[in-house]
Amino acid sequence: MKRVLEENLIYEILSVVEEIPKGSVATYGQIARLIGRDKNARLVGKVLSMAEYYGEYPCHRVVNHAGRLAPGWIEQGDLLRNEGIPLKDETHVDLKKCQWQFCL
């Protein structure tokens, strides 16, 4: 049986993504921790893959724990560079320089 994501959870994740400031990035794991689901980084990725159906969100500001960009999303690097986010190479941001420092 296929599980359906609850809309409340989807909007909870997207509301955190919406808070990531221009010029910063967050990891899937950071977002999962912020919503109280420490071990659900993949769930965050799944929701972000469907974000276009729920409005406009800065999903390009979310990377994996190593700073790697989403595979197959060629425009992500350009969107980040346009916001002044430094890339270490073509597929990774420099998390030490631009990771979102949020306060709980």
Identify the band that residue 1 occupies on the pLDDT scale cut at 50, 70 and 90: very low
Q: Residue 81 and residue 37: Cα distance in Å, rounded?
A: 30
Tokens of 100: 């979102």
Domain boundaries, the chain: 2-98
Fold (CATH) for 2-98: Arc Repressor Mutant, subunit A (1.10.10)
> Using an 8 Å Cβ cutoff, are 85 and 93 in contact?
yes
pLDDT in tens, 7-45: 899 999 999 999 999 999 999 999 999 999 999 999 999
Closest-CA residue to 88 (of 58, 60, 63, 55) = 63
The whole-model pTM stands at 0.91
> Using an 8 Å Cβ cutoff, are 18 and 48 in contact?
no
- Residues marked active site are found at 59
**Residue/partner pairs of 96-99 with CB below 8 Å, 24 or more apart:** 98/23, 98/24, 98/25, 99/24, 99/25, 99/26, 99/27, 99/30
